[in-house]
Structure 1
């Protein structure tokens, strides 16, 4: 299938097209890359904010948001197994909804993830201050940024291997954390009696701030799952995308949901939620504070190392994703052509440099606002991410509708209950997006978000002529289907 203006990679290890990405990622690497992109500061640091609003009922927020993430991943898998192309959901939106949708969703995703990368390195710097509180925040931010840039400049197979082990550290640490938490809750340790379940209902009850507190916690819980779409973006560099993408997406979300819910449950059970939340400030991770409250200082230090690894792993993966998204935009002539050029190692180097702007912005913010830089970055990144998820669901709806009307075969992967499940997810996401307006500290999301989309649409009005004459994925598949004997 040949598509003009869209990267069409063969399943060979080194494609003939010099602009095509290399397929070198295995199934296990895809799963761990997805986990690496999603399990980061949203869980290890952002959970502080969720618990500060909802108390123990934050567990419910993580359950509900996990179900939404599952719908998103399933919808993406359904579309990507049919079109495992560069740009993933952005390219599919371009083909099914329209060039404007492909432009908006990809640039929004790129911008949101670039900002989120800055948030991850700021969070890693905050964790460093657990050991060395006198170190200026900008110093570790700069150091970590240089390391992440170096890893992403290497061959994609090297990146995949490193990210696999980074993610394995996170998964193993969360599993150990949950096991140790269960021991503390029900059995106790030498010199530490069993904590029991009293912390779930004391200090104001299970819903200390009522349903409204739970609603606000949804904002921060949802951010913990942002990144589940990463697996779909790796389709263009997967060795066997039609088999590996659905498998990786399913395993990733189920593992994440289980780890998230159990981890938050342990946090609010082992320590009073008022201690875990630390007044809603971002001085350290609640995972570390739980171990400190349990008088296990060595474990607290080890856990702090783990959460630093988690933040850097998430930043590393998200930088990989943003460079691929810009590469896709360049192939559609919706970004400067030079951003689509690859090195001999198959890395979009110019796109990588531009995608590092978030880390540069994080450095400046860390100098001026210290740890509050994370909250500012959080709000802007969350706004962009929720909009992208809503557009993914819209694309999925149009994907099914148009394929049915054109008589094209169904995807081998189908989202159960759609369009009801996807519709409910879209309403939920819209409600969470609106609620950010009422969360103190997240007002930059609206101040920057709305002007950003107005600017995007204005730019598209100027560059849209570049996409005229493109033969998109849907048109090419329809022609191939009609030519079959």
Structure 2
């Protein structure tokens, strides 16, 4: 697709990109993903170390009220995914929210949202690789962490360079292991809470009301827990990217979004409720080795640490695999719309192999920076992507406000999934996102993230606007 075809003058609606983003060679992405693949891809990208390990910091700050924090942020994510599901079911394309933003707001918005998300996913790939390598080197001391990350990269290059069906199958089983692990944890936890697990007594509400009460650190602690929980949900968006490569994109994305929303809410909110009911929130193990380990250890399960290490390793590798996929497809879609270097979008046998290689390479560069520049460049990189997911959510909400009205006028039959109580809940979601920004500004630990992410967004927006105006000038001439 030529740049003229996708870059109208400023303020004009962007024409619809082709369903399969190519590079001008007629190549298109494959369509080998099944419904079960989509459902697990949605879970694979979001359930990682943020839940199994990172949630410990949220519990330490918020205490038992972390349940409220995850429930509130979960409701916000459900609204965002409902909006995204509505747009993606009406127009299932690999660029997902980037394409929707381009159509609703303009090419600069699609450029900004798409490339910001690509950077976020690539950095996440590096972080997940580092986390997985630390676990393996704990089992095999003396082996270099970077070598394990390189091995993981090679492994996932294999799954992502193969057909999309093989990627989907690999991710299905990886994500399934995580789902089984969390489900078993919830079953054991609920039995223990009810006093039905042999060798355990029902804890009642002692851990929820003791040691400072339900809000031990007051509203400030709840705010910190809320911020930690918001960013733990990032990654669900990948399912709408994958939907374009499914056998039935419209039905596939509709079902995947619906099931993913309640599953994520159950896993996250349910897990936090079980942990803080079974274990005192101020137990040092919650932060030091993770809340899931602390709960299993409390239940007297032998080898709890090793069990959790295996589960966390699988979770990290699954998220790493899903994020390489999401980054490569987003890059390919951007290039297919004239928003990036053409070589990056070359598709071979239904797979954007150059985008896979470049996305993985960027992720591995992040790993190397953690060794080369651990005190300046690497922390700056982490801050830069710290609030990107909120920026993406804002683009999703604004795009849905615009495109919903357009669809109701022009093609109401495409509204297979509908946002609840439109436009009221969309506006509520936008206000909630603005509220999260305000809370981030108030916290020293998140203020730097907000500033750095804002700088990245601003730079991308300026570049996108310049490209859009140049393309508009070329059209007029």
Runs ≥4 residues deviating over 6 A: 372-377
* Residues 116-172 of structure 1: CA deviation (Å, up to 9, x unaligned): 222222332344466467766544433333322332222110000011111111111
Kindly indicate whether the alpha-carbon contact (under 8 Å) linking 1:72 and 1:392 is maintained by their aligned counterparts in 2.
yes
Q: CA RMSD in A?
A: 3.1
Structure 1 equivalent of residue 314 of structure 2: 309
CA 1:45 to 1:368, structure 2 compared with 1: closer, same or farther past 3 Å?
Answer: farther
State the Cα distance separating 1:193 from its structure 2 match.
Answer: 4.1
Question: Are 2:13 and 1:8 aligned?
Answer: no
State the Cα distance separating 1:92 from its structure 2 match.
Answer: 1.7
Structure 1 equivalent of residue 81 of structure 2: 73
State the Cα distance separating 1:462 from its structure 2 match.
Answer: 3.6
CA 1:434 to 1:73, structure 2 compared with 1: closer, same or farther past 3 Å?
Answer: same
* Residues 294-353 of structure 1: CA deviation (Å, up to 9, x unaligned): 332324312220111011111111110111111011011110000000122x22122112
Q: Distance in 2 between matches of 1:317 and 1:403?
A: 31
Structure 2 equivalent of residue 123 of structure 1: 131
Kindly indicate whether the alpha-carbon contact (under 8 Å) linking 2:386 and 2:450 is maintained by their aligned counterparts in 1.
no
Q: Distance in 2 between matches of 1:124 and 1:376?
A: 22
Q: Distance in 1 between matches of 2:100 and 2:172?
A: 27
Question: Are 2:365 and 1:355 aligned?
Answer: no
CA 1:188 to 1:136, structure 2 compared with 1: closer, same or farther past 3 Å?
Answer: farther
Structure 1 equivalent of residue 10 of structure 2: none
CA 1:131 to 1:8, structure 2 compared with 1: closer, same or farther past 3 Å?
Answer: same
State the Cα distance separating 1:76 from its structure 2 match.
Answer: 1.2
Q: Which shows bigger deviation, 397-406 or 316-325?
A: 397-406
Structure 2 equivalent of residue 329 of structure 1: 334
Question: Are 2:267 and 1:259 aligned?
Answer: yes
Structure 2 equivalent of residue 446 of structure 1: 450
1:19-418 matches, cutoff 5 A: 19-128=27-136, 131=139, 137-187=145-195, 191-275=199-283, 278=286, 280=287, 283-344=288-349, 346-356=350-360, 357-365=362-370, 369=374, 379-404=383-408, 411-418=415-422
Q: Distance in 2 between matches of 1:407 and 1:270?
A: 51
Tell me the matched-pair count: 463
Structure 2 equivalent of residue 475 of structure 1: none
Using the size of structure 1 for normalisation, the TM-score is 0.87
Q: Distance in 2 between matches of 1:435 and 1:359?
A: 32
Kindly indicate whether the alpha-carbon contact (under 8 Å) linking 1:188 and 1:195 is maintained by their aligned counterparts in 2.
no
Match of 2:441 among 437, 456, 459: 437
Q: Distance in 2 between matches of 1:207 and 1:219?
A: 16
Kindly indicate whether the alpha-carbon contact (under 8 Å) linking 1:271 and 1:290 is maintained by their aligned counterparts in 2.
yes
CA 1:116 to 1:355, structure 2 compared with 1: closer, same or farther past 3 Å?
Answer: same
Structure 2 equivalent of residue 478 of structure 1: none
CA 1:259 to 1:454, structure 2 compared with 1: closer, same or farther past 3 Å?
Answer: closer
State the Cα distance separating 1:194 from its structure 2 match.
Answer: 4.1
CA 1:93 to 1:368, structure 2 compared with 1: closer, same or farther past 3 Å?
Answer: closer
Q: Distance in 2 between matches of 1:291 and 1:132?
A: 24
Q: Distance in 2 between matches of 1:183 and 1:288?
A: 17
CA 1:187 to 1:455, structure 2 compared with 1: closer, same or farther past 3 Å?
Answer: same
Using the size of structure 2 for normalisation, the TM-score is 0.88
Kindly indicate whether the alpha-carbon contact (under 8 Å) linking 2:132 and 2:317 is maintained by their aligned counterparts in 1.
yes
Kindly indicate whether the alpha-carbon contact (under 8 Å) linking 2:93 and 2:244 is maintained by their aligned counterparts in 1.
yes
Residue 342 of structure 1 aligns to a residue in which SS?
A: coil
Q: Distance in 2 between matches of 1:453 and 1:191?
A: 54
CA 1:179 to 1:113, structure 2 compared with 1: closer, same or farther past 3 Å?
Answer: same
State the Cα distance separating 1:440 from its structure 2 match.
Answer: 4.6
Q: Which shows bigger deviation, 113-122 or 432-441?
A: 432-441
Q: Which shows bigger deviation, 111-120 or 245-254?
A: 111-120
Structure 2 gaps, min length 5: 7-15
Structure 1 gaps, min length 5: 472-485
Kindly indicate whether the alpha-carbon contact (under 8 Å) linking 2:345 and 2:354 is maintained by their aligned counterparts in 1.
yes
Q: Distance in 2 between matches of 1:349 and 1:447?
A: 34
* Residues 242-286 of structure 1: CA deviation (Å, up to 9, x unaligned): 1111111000111111111111111112211122664x5xx5332
State the Cα distance separating 1:83 from its structure 2 match.
Answer: 1.1
Q: Distance in 2 between matches of 1:78 and 1:467?
A: 30
